[in-house]
Amino acid sequence: MAPPFRAEHVGSLMRPADLLAARSAAGATSSYSRLTEDVQAVTEKAIAEVIAKQLELGIRPITSGEYERNIFYSGFFENLQGMEVATAIPVDEGYRTGFPTLKILKSLGIPTRDSVIAVDRIKHTQSPYLPEWKTLQARVPQEQWKDCKLTMPPITHSHMQMAVGTAYRPNVYSSDQEYFKDLAEAYAAEFRVLYNEGLRSIQIDDPCLLFFVTDEFRSGCVADGVDPDDLLDQYVWAHNQCLLGKPADLHVGLHLCRGNMTGSTHIMSGSYERIAKKMFTELAYDTYYLEYDTERAGDFEPLRHLPVGKNVILGIVSTKSPELEDMDELVARVNSAAEVIARGQGRSVDEVLESTLGVSPQCGFASMSRGGGSGMTMDIMWEKLLLVERLAKRVWG
């Protein structure tokens, strides 16, 4: 089954200046800020404009640019019953040892971070993201709802960051498995609501899963008394629990990157090789959106583990650099990736190209409101997205 879109983007788009100014003036700068009526009005206007631009240019999939959110994971966990925002958690004490994001926060002089913890049993009582989908849906003709995509954070988001045993109150859950089972049921319920309202493509953004390829994170796990391989197995299981009972025609993909902070800052480097076989063969996702724009990601060899029937979107256009990539080099890279997959699957390159691959920028253009690569502008962003469209046409016609 070919991916839904040959030319993709990861979902978040650079915010217009008036939206950033409105959020700043209202103090809506926390990851979990709720929008005031004034900011909501500016947000809806910006969303309408960015959707119109995507329709005008033929950019697919169509998203709201994540303009409703201050950061990619905003809006979900804090709107589940039983979850509560915990503010100002010290990065030295409240988070896992060796968690790669912490060194970046410290270098930026950020001593604390907010998170969401379970203070009661987690329940899905109303859809956190249905308002976002309704806003997007209302601005797109019904026959193009199938061309839309919504992004969501991963089930492991809080658990993976926070100090061992602190993602939930000890009187609420007696084990990680209990915590993840309730949270997975909330994900499955959210998928059903969005599907029933016409959404057909969801992308789970998990920038932290790749920390398992780093010695820094794995050593930190050991220091905390956790076996990193057992923890990875638990996370694969938790991800898959979310997908139980998923409608057959609801496409759910997994995006993996190496960090996308303001000013082109990335969190870590390293090949997918260390986790590739487990990731491709044990996770139940339809599609993998992979960062492959620089040598940070290593070569394409880990793609030999991709099974027949799953897809890869090659993120070979950079959102961090304003320079436009060379078309011939991009085409050559697509073909190189196809050759590796074909060798691993025992198929022809043409078969792999036809059934398995798509192309995209390597990450979102603004995973947080004030994100954006060094030197990146709105105009360059649209040029990059059109470059991806032209690349797809060049490869697939």
CB contact set of 319 (below 8 Å; sequence gap of 6+): 10, 260, 361, 362, 363, 364, 365, 373, 376, 381, 384
Instruction: Specify the fold of 17-396.
Output: TIM Barrel (3.20.20)
Give the phi and the psi of residue 242 in degrees, each rounded to 5: -65, -30
Cβ(252)–Cβ(155) below 8 Å: no
Cβ(256)–Cβ(210) below 8 Å: yes
Residues 169, 164: Cα–Cα separation, whole Å: 12
Which of these, 367, 336, 339, 105, lies nearest to 256 by C-alpha position?
367
Residues 184, 182: Cα–Cα separation, whole Å: 5
Residues 367, 376: Cα–Cα separation, whole Å: 14
The full set of domain ranges for the chain reads 17-396
Please give the pLDDT value at position 40. Answer: 93
Please give the pLDDT value at position 260. Answer: 59
Angle between helices 176-196 and 228-242 (to 10 degrees): 30
Helices then strands, each counted (H, E), the chain: 12, 8
- Pull the structure tokens for residue 309: 């029937």
Omega of the bond leading into 100 within 30 degrees of 0 (cis): no
Alpha helices in 162-197 (DSSP H): 176-196
Please give the pLDDT value at position 264. Answer: 45
Residues 138, 132: Cα–Cα separation, whole Å: 10
CB contact set of 141 (below 8 Å; sequence gap of 6+): none
Q: Mean pLDDT by 10-residue block, N- to C-terminus, for the chain (397 residues)?
A: 90 95 87 88 97 97 96 96 95 89 81 94 98 97 97 97 96 98 98 98 94 94 97 98 96 86 60 95 97 83 97 95 96 98 98 97 90 87 98 97
